[in-house]
């Protein structure tokens, strides 16, 4: 395992001591409070989990603009995106030194964290435009990340935080949600030193499964961390519980025991392509992973990014030595009818499109909703069955 980003040891912001946590929760009930955005709640969970090490809390305006511009804070810490708490109205906390941050994603809006307020500042329209263009590489409001980023307000509340819980992630996904420090502990128990991480917001088809095997073999890893996003997605994406069930079934049946860790993290997808790929690499370093798979159109959406932009950013924009984790660059993988196995397309220049088993997302959804089995060269039958049940239930509801 490798060192966390920016420090020798991981410093999660979750209050570990139960007595201290209970006392802080009691105190928080009397503090002025803010109902934060889902994105800020995800940031708090990630800070509490140690994924955003070495940050101590939410960035101020200067750091948010600096990380958007050059991927470094004003003090020179490498960080690929601004980690901020932005609200529409901060009048309820005017003059307060400490505030309670209330969770928008849990009924009753319980306190998620306590924040020390260092500054309350305003982003101008030009600031928002600047950050949007730098992070998302587009201003198009049809981009789900752009729309979400610009919908939460322009008032930024900065300062360190102490996290009291992990929102709904721990209760809804008890088998899957893991903090960065828990993942480090689990990998240590397994005796893993060299670990390759795979990011997913989708179920894993046969090509994804084989890509993990290819990377595992290529870097001579001890194990694979399958790390799925459990937070908010765009409309049409498969819910986390369905993905979780499908991925677990695949690993249980098709990977040797103790070679795969299936875990998830609490964060809302940004769909920021290259910048999000770098963020993904950074927080996998904080879990202790030594390698991270970056595939074709990693963290992308629509046609906003080139197919390999998320790989070239590591060569062209990430300063040398900024991250310790190594990137395993993957091409699109698919079943070759000629070779009767999954291959990376770049490795078979003699193939044409017709030599691969390729299905569009739309075609897959249509087949599953109609109860048609997916080709075995595309998906494991046990995985397809779980997805089929989901799509048929959605079709019955008229979704």
Helix (H) or strand (E) holding 277: helix 274-286
Q: Which of 137, 201, 213, 365 is catalytic?
A: 201
Nearest Cα to Cα of residue 313 among 274, 342, 363, 347: 274
Q: At 8, list the tokens.
A: 């020798």
Nearest Cα to Cα of residue 323 among 47, 74, 71, 5: 5
**Residue 201 designated active-site:** yes
**Residue 11 designated active-site:** no
Tokens 């996998």: give the residue.
284
DSSP string, 190-201: HT-SSEEEEEES
Helix (H) or strand (E) holding 314: helix 309-316
Please check whether residue 219 is in contact with residue 256, taking contact to mean a CB–CB distance below 8 angstroms.
no
- What is the separation of C-alpha 72 from the centre of its chain, rounded to a whole number of angstroms? 20
- In angstroms, rounded to a whole number, what is the distance separating the alpha carbons of residues 387 and 390? 5
Mention every residue, 6+ apart, whose C-beta is less than 8 A from residue 239: 390
Q: At 272, list the tokens.
A: 């920021």
Dihedrals φ, ψ of 326, to 5°? Answer: -100, 145
Helix (H) or strand (E) holding 1: none
Strand positions, DSSP E, the chain: 33-35, 57-58, 86-87, 98-102, 111-116, 119-122, 155-163, 195-200, 223-229, 260-265, 291-294, 326-329, 333-336, 341-344, 356-357
- In angstroms, rounded to a whole number, what is the distance separating the alpha carbons of residues 216 and 328? 10
Q: Which of 11, 109, 193, 202 is catalytic?
A: 202
Report, as residue numbers or ranges, the catalytic residues.
Answer: 201-202
């Amino acid at each position: 395992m490798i060192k966390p980003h920016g420090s020798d040891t991981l410093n999660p912001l979750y209050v570990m001591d139960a007595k201290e946590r209970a006392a802080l929760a009691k105190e928080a009930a009397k503090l002025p409070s803010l109902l934060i955005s889902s994105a800020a709640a995800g940031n708090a969970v990630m800070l509490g989990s140690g994924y955003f090490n070495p940050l101590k809390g939410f960035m101020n305006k200067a750091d948010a603009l600096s990380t958007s511009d050059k991927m470094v804070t004003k003090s020179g810490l490498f960080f690929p995106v601004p980690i901020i708490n932005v609200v529409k109205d901060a009048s309820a906390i005017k003059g307060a030194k400490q505030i309670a941050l209330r969770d928008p994603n849990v009924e009753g809006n319980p306190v998620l964290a306590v924040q020390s307020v260092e500054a309350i500042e305003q982003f101008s329209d030009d600031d928002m435009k600047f950050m949007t263009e730098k992070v998302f590489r587009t201003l198009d409001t049809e981009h789900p990340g752009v729309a979400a980023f610009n919908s939460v307000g322009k008032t930024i509340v900065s300062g360190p935080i102490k996290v009291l819980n992990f929102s709904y992630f721990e209760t809804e996904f008890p088998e899957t949600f893991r903090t960065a420090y828990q993942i480090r502990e689990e990998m240590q128990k397994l005796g893993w030193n060299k670990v390759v991480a795979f990011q997913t917001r989708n179920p894993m088809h046969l090509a994804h499964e084989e890509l993990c095997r290819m990377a595992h073999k290529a870097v001579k890893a001890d194990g694979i961390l399958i790390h799925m996003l459990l937070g908010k997605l765009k409309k049409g994406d498969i819910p986390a519980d369905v993905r979780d069930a499908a991925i677990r079934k695949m690993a249980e049946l098709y990977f040797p025991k103790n070679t795969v860790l299936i875990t998830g993290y609490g964060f809302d997808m940004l769909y920021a392509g290259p910048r999000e790929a770098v963020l993904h690499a950074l927080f996998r370093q904080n879990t202790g992973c030594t390698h991270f798979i970056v595939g074709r159109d990693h963290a992308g959406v629509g046609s906003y990014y080139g197919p390999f932009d998320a790989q070239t950013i590591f060569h062209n924009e990430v300063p040398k030595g900024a991250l310790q984790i190594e990137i395993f660059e993957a091409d699109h993988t698919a079943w070759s009818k000629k070779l009767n196995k999954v291959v990376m397309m770049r490795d078979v220049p003699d193939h044409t499109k017709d030599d691969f088993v390729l299905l569009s997302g739309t075609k897959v959804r249509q087949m599953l909703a109609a109860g048609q089995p997916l080709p075995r060269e595309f998906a494991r039958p046990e995985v397809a069955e779980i997805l089929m049940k989901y799509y048929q239930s959605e079709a019955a509801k008229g979704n």
